Amino acid sequence: MNKLHLFTFILLAAISCKSPEARRPVSVKSGSFIDASVARNKKLYANEKSQIEKIMKQHKDRKYIASESGFWYYYNTKVEVDSIKKPTFGDIVNYDYNVKSLNGSVIYSKEALKTQNYAMDREELFTGLREGLKLMKTGETVTFLFPSQKAYGYYGDENKIGSNMPLMCEVTINSITQNQAD
């Protein structure tokens, strides 16, 4: 009987030691959805960029600057003093802003949004505004033109800002409180 148990044990051990095999997908899909999405987003961006370029052509008196982050802006009020620092990680930025559609109609006024405090890169804020604040100094007012992917993107703000809506924001930095080392 011992030999039978030993044989059974060896047989079970040999069968159970087989390495696991990867499961194969039941169906294989191509990247056509991703490809279509990429094409749609490129077309959307090109359309929004042309709208923004049209606005910039209408206002040749303003010196628009293309940011490295993919939006455009101009200074309403520029501080030329180099000793004034721009905000860095963790600094508290006190600012006022409004949100408009590209045709200039107000979506959220400065009064409705009230003065904001933002801890740089430590709190949630839409991408374009977060990057825009990094370009500013205390006392400056800048108008930003954001394509939708730098604003609220596909979802909007689920209130007044719709899906894929490019925005114009006028932002004024009131103060920057330097981050005290943690």
Tell me what percent of the residues of the chain surpass a pLDDT of 90: 73
- Tens of pLDDT, residue by residue over 97-120, are 999 999 999 999 999 999 999 999
What is the model's pLDDT at position 61? 94
Q: Which long-range contacts (C-beta less than 8 Å, at least 24 apart) are formed by 101-105?
A: 101/165, 101/166, 101/167, 101/168, 102/51, 102/52, 102/55, 102/145, 102/166, 102/167, 102/168, 104/168
pLDDT bin (cut points 50, 70, 90) of residue 32 is confident
- Mean pLDDT calculated for residue range 160-167: 96
Fold of 63-177: Chitinase A; domain 3 (3.10.50)
Domain ranges across the chain: 63-177
Whole-prediction pTM value?
A: 0.80
Express each pLDDT in 114-136 by its tens digit: 999 999 999 999 999 999 999 99
